[in-house]
Each structure stands twice: as C-alpha cells, then as structure tokens.
Amino acid sequence: MNGFEKRAALIKEKILKTTLKMLQTYEPSQLRIADIAKIAKVSQVTIYNYFGSKDALIHESVKRYIDVSIQDFQVYMQQEGPIKEKIERMLLQNQESYGVLSPSMIKRLIAKDEEIANYIQEETKERIIPLLVQMIDAGKKNGEISKKITAEGFLVFINFMMLHYEELLNIVTQQDNTDLIDSLHHIFFYGICGKE
C-alpha cells in the first residue's frame, strides 16, 4: 500500500468510526452527511466519493462493526481456558457491544436494511454457532458442562437471553447491585437448584 492508499484508508476508517459513534445517539434517518463530515473533519464530497450515499455509509459502518466484533469473539473462543470464563467473556462482550449499538438500534437497522439482516444471519450461522457448539461439546467432554445440556438447548437459551439482554443490562446498571449480578450469574451457570 502506497502513501496515498494509506491516507485514504485512514480517512475512510475515520468516517466509518464517526458514523458508528453517531449511531449511538442518532436514528439513521436523523444522520446527515454534513454532520458526519463536520465531526470527522472531512468534506462531504470525500464521504460521497468513498461511500456513494448515506445509506451505503451506514451499511458499511455496521458491517465493519459486526466483522470486528465477530473476529474478537472468534479469537477469544479459540483460546484455551475454562468454559465459564468464555461464557462470562461472551456476556461481557455483549454488554460492551451494546454500548456501541444497542439491540433496539440493531433491530431498527435490520428492519431497514435487508442486506445487513441477511449478513448478520449468515455470519451467526457460519461463524458464531459453530464456535458455541464446539464450546459446549468440549465442556461436556471435560466435565465443565452437564451431559444434560444439548448444544441446541444452549443456543435456544442464549438466543432468548440475547433478545432480553438490553432489559437485563438496564436493570443491573440502574440498581448497581452486585448481589443481583452474582445471583444472575449463579442462575445462568448452575440453575436455581444447582450447586457450584
């Protein structure tokens, strides 16, 4: 990559990051290229040259964010370590990612952009689910996970949790209650009758 290409890549990355940051507080329909250009300190023409339209820019920003999040998830899940730590990390990563794009914002983006919806679905199917199934199988083999837990059951449970994760997160952060967090962790890992 020559000097011009490096500068172009840096400018493009700055525009994508600015757009993603603005999506934390603005609805996509409220975003304006002029505002993005001002905050990113680039011209509107530069944005149009790189992305063509506001919708394409938002699409690219969200797709890039998804790619980075999944890549981080893959790297961590493929490392050695206890299953409990991996699941805790997975939950923490979701908490961190919701600080960038909330589940409600992701739902609105998916509803507006069928291509993003299909991309998330495909990436989940091809990259995330196989890692989770592998983790469950490994955990059952080494005794960290009960033999009664099926990969399908775990995936249904995780999917249900993710659908309501934003609500759980709001409850926990509003109360700042470590007892509640400990209780939820215990229920997740051991059930209501299980013992550590």
53-83 tens-digit pLDDT: 999 999 999 899 889 888 888 888 888 888 8
Q: Which helix (H) or strand (E) holds 139?
A: helix 129-141
pTM confidence score: 0.76
Say what the pLDDT of residue 95 is: 60
Phi, psi of 142 (to 5 degrees): -95, 5
Highest average pLDDT, of 54-68, 78-92, 178-192, comes from 54-68
CA angle 188, 184, 164 (to 5 degrees): 80
Say what the pLDDT of residue 93 is: 65
Pseudo-torsion of CA 134, 140, 143, 146, nearest 10°?
A: 130
Distance (Å, rounded) from C-alpha 46 to C-alpha 94? 33
**Class assignment of domain 3-163?**
mainly alpha
